[in-house]
Amino acid sequence: MLLFLGKDVSRWLEQCVDFVERSGAVDPRVSPQSFAALIVENPPLGVQAKLERWGVSDRKAVFSRAIGMNSLFELPPPIETLSTTFLRHYHRYADHAYICYQHLTPFFALELKDFEFELYASEEYAKLLSDQWEHA
């Protein structure tokens, strides 16, 4: 699941960079790592509260490990290709992969006040879009 969450988060990171590049209103050093640090270290209070309602007790670990796993694998590797050590300690590998990802390039640290965002589950987002289309 972390790999698939990582794919979604990584797609969001790229979309955020694309958005700010198009706006031209942000430092050109903004990178996916800028937004990764924001979602892992300092997401909006509404996002934190929603994750807690969903039962996510350690959002930092979930998001950082998801990004880390996505930086390692495009697709889930066949189980027989993974060592027992990796399987037992995948979370440690994912933690370090996130750190490596964050150090791939120097990045501009963002302030939450400049980038407010919300988090939606797939079903929740689909309903939101449907409601908007009905009222358009």
pLDDT digits (tens, 9 = 90+) for 7-55: 999 999 999 999 888 888 777 788 999 999 999 998 888 888 888 988 8
Task: Please list, in sequence order, all residues whose beta carbon lies within 8 angstroms of the beta carbon of residue 73, skipping any fewer than 6 positions away.
Answer: 3
> What is the number of structural domains in the chain?
1
State how far the Cα of 99 lies from the Cα of 92, in Å rounded to an integer: 11
Quick one: pLDDT at residue 118?
81
pTM: 0.85
